[in-house]
Structure 1
Amino acid sequence: MSVGIIAAGCSFPSGPTLALADIAVRTQFSLTRQHPFVVDRCDKPVKASYFPQHELTFDISRWQVIADNAVEDALLSAGEYAALPSRLWLILPPAERPGVPLTLASALTASISLRLPDCLQIVVLRGGHAEAGNAILQIRQLQTQDRALTIDIVVAVESWLPPETLMWLEDQHLLHNSHSFYKGEARSNPYGRIPSEGAAVLILVQEKSLPCWCHLQGISTGQERVLRDDDQPCLALGLSGAAQAAIKLANTNAVSHLFTDVNGEIYRFDEYGFTLSRLSGVLRDNFQRVAPVLASGDLGCASLITHLALAAWQLKAETETGTETGILVLSSSDDHQRCAVVLKPLIQGVEKHDNHQY
């Protein structure tokens, strides 16, 4: 059984709502600027994508505001269904990462749950770009077992902007356009990521139980053995395996759109190159690549939910005109986790659903 997406929301600097985020991604509109007080090893300002603010502080309150904006965006889309019994799934970066507030999980669960009138359970997962896949797998299993109508609300929040986090990335040479000394001269790094901040939300439900934007037909996770710092070449066995399994579960042989989280790192480009070569048989000749990072910057653990929200929004719009399409969303990560998700539109643009009392 698949699950359906009934609403979504997101918030990043050039796309403070899902509707505006869709426009930003389509036009590749980005808000990238110098960090107000963090410099690289050559004493040059680090570039990042962040919300403008009169007094820039990167404490826990900033995470809360970004998360609240995305949750409000999604709940407005859900309308009356937001009052249904719910489970909250919160995706956060690893607690041990420099710059992540110690009380982040408790603060966010407290503020978000206030907006959910009948929250039955709260689950917190921590990890990298692909961690949200583990939450969706658990949700699919729970939705299969549920007899009562319950919505699952997945909220992912990320910020690379705390100074400790940026310096941690700089030490690993992961910042795009940061500088290093070479033969006495400061040279910029042409690769690496543009750090950003943002949040995204998906609201999931049993297939055909409520009117949906689209269906999440296939999802699979995998483990990549070779990471960025390893001596061996990465052949993308983890990402390719996840993609092939998700496509098989979705029972499709024609993918028209491919969402990726390629972020400017050579390792990621190699990984996606090998993956695409193995998917050539299921990608349409005119398939479209979508790289939201060009507008949003790197959103870390919030990237997968952001990309699924954008893909669902696109399918919702196209379903209204009866367009048949399918979207594959791929997610790599700094850790071993990999994930692939296939979204498919509603049949003939209209979905019948059961009547439920709530």
Structure 2
Amino acid sequence: MTPVTIGRDVVIAGGGARTAIGLTAPATMAAQRAGIAGFGEHPFLVDAAGNKFIVARVPPLGVESQGSERWAALAVPSAIEATQPLRERRAKLAALPVVVGLPPRRPGRPADAEKSLTDKLRAALNDVAATIPVETIAAGHAAGTMALEAGWQKIRAKASDFCLIGGVDSYLDIETLAWLERQDQVHGAGKLNNAWGFVPGEAAGWCLLAAREVATKWQLPFALQLLAGATTKETKLIKTDAVCTGEGLIALFRQLAAALPPGRKFEQVICDMNGEPYRADEYGFATVRMGSAFVDASDFLAPADCWGDVGAASGPLFALWAELAARKGYSKGSFTLMWTSAEGGERSGAVLQALK
């Protein structure tokens, strides 16, 4: 999708998160900045070699919680956190659109995922809006970023003044972990102690998007503006014999670079690289072709080294990281590129501008 070039400015006016390293957005981002890793042994699940899986588990959630119940325990508290600025102003909106990214169908994914999560979100947020239309995007790692793009488009097109966007994912279902190991994707698992996999995690992340003029009128604090969002498609996929040379990612970077002001470059990069060679190779090929758009393409942030691979929740968490960095003054520059790469081929990203 080509970035929209007309419409209203869009800012992040609230955020919420629940991860292995923090139960709120500020706690999560502070822990990530400090380099704290939330990895540990699963209480009882073991790999093919008889060793306990190393996972990134949200501390309060017991291992007995599975499926839709676990997803709701991740998503609902963080969605309430993200909409707290509306409660503080005693606001009751006529409608609050919600767009949430989810993983695609896979072993261990709840069969009732969309309906169950939609019902629970509507019940939790009915104090801030009379109606809550919920859209879901099941596209794996790119899903949360695609939700960010969708919310940005709604506000830019004046379809709504606010939009709550997010992503929810958990790899810690018993069937899901077993499936990941069969795919040779779990870091440290199996008889060969797999060095090229990722640490399975779980998380929910939410951003309350708002039209800038509305956020200003309501005196909602904001420090970051979304300049553009885009999604492209890669045809040479992981787990196939095709050699990926980053064409999908190159197309994404090219679209997003077009949204930068003349003479400016991406000064900060946040991405979902997780230890898998496919992702690193793809980024390497893409930056060879698009290196002129970066101040330093090799200087990137990959938070999976702290909160694990969180799949569909990645994009909203990246946006919250950039927002807090802008608010606290430790951003490496004004323009942040965030990108995510799904196994189904979706490549989704956004350009964020610090306003402080």
Shared fold by TM > 0.5? yes
Aligned letter for 2:141? H
* Matched residue SS, 2:141: coil
Relative to structure 1, the CA distance from residue 139 to residue 189 in structure 2 (aligned partners, 3 Å threshold; closer, same or farther) is same
Normalising by structure 2, we get a TM-score of: 0.87
Tell me the distance in 2 between the aligned counterparts of 1:162 and 1:64: 14
**Worse overlay, 280-289 or 197-206:** 280-289
SS at match of 1:217: strand
- In structure 2, relative to structure 1, the CA distance for the partners of 1:172 and 1:81 (3 Å cut) is farther
- Secondary structure of the 1:304 match is helix
| Separation (CA, whole Å) in 1 of partners of 2:235 and 2:62 | 43
- Please give the alpha-carbon distance, in whole angstroms, between the structure 1 residues aligned to 2:111 and 2:244: 34
Residue 298 of structure 1: aligned partner? 309
Cα drift, residue 344 of structure 1: 0.3
3-state DSSP of counterpart to 2:259: helix
Aligned to 1:242, which of 219, 243, 252? Answer: 252
1:232 aligned partner, one-letter code:
A
Q: State the one-letter code of the partner of 1:142.
A: K
Of 307, 313, 316, the match for 2:324: 313
Residues 331/142 of structure 1: CA separation in 2 closer, same or farther (3 Å cut)? same
Q: Residue 69 in 1 paired to residue 81 in 2?
A: no
Structure 1 residues 51 and 168: CA distance shift in structure 2, 3 A: same
TM-score normalised by L of structure 1? 0.87
Identify the residue that residue 98 of structure 1 maps to in structure 2: 107
On the 8 A contact 2:338/2:351 being kept in 1, the answer is yes
User: Distance in 2 between the 1:144 and 1:174 partners?
Assistant: 39
Q: Quote the offset at 1:81 in angstroms.
A: 7.7
What letter matches 1:91 in structure 2? Answer: G
Q: Does 1:329 align with 2:329?
A: no
Amino acid at match of 2:41: Q
TM-superposed CA distance for 1:233, in Å, is 1.9
Residue 225 of structure 2 is matched in structure 1 by: 215
Aligned positions, number: 337
In the alignment, structure 1 segments of 5+ residues that lack a partner are 181-186, 350-358
| Mean CA deviation greater in 304-313 or 152-161 | 304-313
SS at match of 1:255: coil
Equivalent-residue separation in structure 2 for 1:18 and 1:154 (angstroms): 14
CA deviation map 1:9-36 (0-9, x unaligned): 1110112211111122212211211112
Letter in 2 for 1:294: D
Look up the match of 1:16.
23
Please tell me whether the aligned partners of residues 20 and 58 of structure 2 are also in contact (alpha carbons under 8 angstroms): yes
Deviations along 1:81-124, one digit per CA (max 9) or x if unpaired, are 86333111122212x31111122222222222222432342212
Code of the residue aligned with 1:156 in structure 2: it is G
- Partner residue, 2:4: none
Letter in 2 for 1:83: K
- Helix, strand or coil: the match of 1:220? strand
The answer on whether the counterparts of 2:47 and 2:181 sit within 8 Å (CA) in structure 1 is yes
State whether structure 2 residue 177 is matched by structure 1 residue 166. Answer: yes
Sort the Cα spacing of 1:145 and 1:169 in 2 relative to 1 into closer, same or farther, 3 A: same
**CA–CA distance in 1 between the matches of 2:303 and 2:62?**
28
Runs of 5+ consecutive residues of structure 2 not aligned to the other structure: 1-6, 217-221
Q: CA RMSD in A?
A: 2.3
Distance in 2, matches of 1:42 and 1:287, equals 35
Query: Is the Cα–Cα contact under 8 Å of residues 234 and 345 in structure 2 kept in the other structure?
Result: yes
Are 1:58 and 1:161, in contact at CA under 8 Å, matched by a contact in 2?
no
Q: 1:54 to 1:161 in 2, by over 3 A?
A: closer
Structure 1 residue 286: Cα displacement: 9.3
Deviations for 1:176-226, whole angstroms, at most 9, x for unmatched residues? 00013xxxxxx2011111001110001112243313331110211111111
**Is the 8 Å Cα contact of residues 75 and 82 (structure 1) preserved in structure 2?**
no
Q: SS at the partner of 1:338? A: strand
Work out whether residues 270 and 318 of structure 2, in 8 Å CA contact, stay in contact via their aligned partners in 1.
yes
> What are the equivalent positions in structure 2 for 1:1-358 lying under 5 Å apart?
1=7, 2-53=9-60, 55-59=62-66, 60-78=68-86, 79-80=88-89, 83-84=92-93, 85-94=95-104, 96-114=105-123, 115-116=125-126, 117-118=128-129, 119-146=131-158, 150-180=161-191, 187-211=192-216, 212-251=222-261, 253-285=264-296, 288-318=299-329, 325-346=334-355, 349=356
The residue aligned with 1:353 is none
